[in-house]
Chains A and B, each alone.
Chain A
Amino acid sequence: MNAQLFEVCLRIGDDALISAQRLAEWSAAAPELEEDIALSNIALDQLGVARLMLSYAGEVEGAGRDEDALAYLRDDREFRNCLLVELPNAGPAAGPHAPIDFGVTMARLLFVSTYQLLLYQSLLDSSDERLRDIAAKARKESAYHVDHATQWTIRLGDGTEESHRRMQAAVDDLWPYTHELFTGTAPSGLVPDPASLRAPWLESVTDVLTVSTLTTPPDGWAPSGGRDGRHTEHLSYLLAEMQVLRRAHPGATW
């Protein structure tokens, strides 16, 4: 099997899967009905990409694992998502029962979707045909996600004093986790070198933060490990919830 291609599919697929899982937490909980619908659309898009990527990963591996075997039967040390997507919607340092925070979700969506848009745009030139096909579909959807996050970042950053404070806190708390997106090696031709995405990402994100009257945090602490399966404590709780039913009935069809 092409081990590098398998890894690449897991990274992209796991980023999308865990993003979808976090976004799904907003169902019946959004600040307005229209927003509930919008966030579900984004979650469905991310889930769609996850399914395509994980299915492809299973084919590439050639060991009979399908999208569900990969999603439900891997332990957290085998997941390859970045740390940013697994953080709770309440924020990276929030306690276990803290309420989900719309500002955190929008800041995270801005950071993740801007990265995904650049990634999928680059993948249109991948040497792998399936990656090119998946990227073509994913890219259009990503553009909507960036737009949605941008609209809200602007309105929350440049809204009330309270929303400005909360949004700045969300940006500051999440910023350290963005650096991991641009680390790691890239099998040449398959995917872009992650480091090469940083400059365009920073330019896009900084533009949005500026319009939103928010400050771009300084670079400093840069936690990582997700791409090697070393996650935060949050991921195993997320996976426990996601996987429990499937694991309770081994071999069953749903």
Chain B
Amino acid sequence: MSSDLWEVFVRPRRGLSHTHVGSVHAPDAAMALRNARDVYTRRQEGVSIWVVPAASITASSPDEKDSFFDPAADKVYRHPTFYEVPEGAEHL
């Protein structure tokens, strides 16, 4: 169920920017935020959290041999699980 994977970004205090710290599973955004708070900040004060569905992230990285503009190569994780397989498509 890759649809329930959320990436978590935390800003530990004012003046710093948000940093990626890992991921959590949650059925929706409200639970994702609360789960991220419990898992990655243990409810410290003054911390700002962003959660983003992993599937919503568009990514690139510097050393790639793929064309920067290749639309199939812009997901955050390279490997097949994170692509949605269309109904009826077997052996993908």
Contact = CB atoms under 8 A, between A and B. Distances in A.
Q: Does A associate with B in a complex?
A: yes
8 contacts: A34-B31, A34-B35, A34-B39, A37-B35, A37-B39, A38-B38, A41-B42, A151-B34
Contacts, number: 26
Contacts of B42: 41
B26 A34 contact: yes
Chain A, interface size category, equals 10 to 19
Interface of A: 32-34, 37-38, 41, 144, 147-148, 151, 155
Q: Which 4 A-B pairs have the closest CB atoms?
A: A34-B35, A38-B38, A37-B38, A41-B38
Q: Chain A: interface secondary structure?
A: helix
Nearest to A152: B31
Nearest to A44: B42
A147 B43 CA distance: 13
A37 B24 CA distance: 12
A41 B43 contact: yes
Interface in B8-48: 24-27, 30-31, 34-35, 38-39, 42-43
A41 B40 CA distance: 12
A155 B27 contact: yes
A148 B34 contact: yes
B34 A147 contact: yes
Nearest to A159: B27
A178 B54 CA distance: 42
A41 B31 CA distance: 15
Nearest to B28: A155
A38 B31 CA distance: 11
A155 B34 CA distance: 14
A41 B38 CA distance: 8
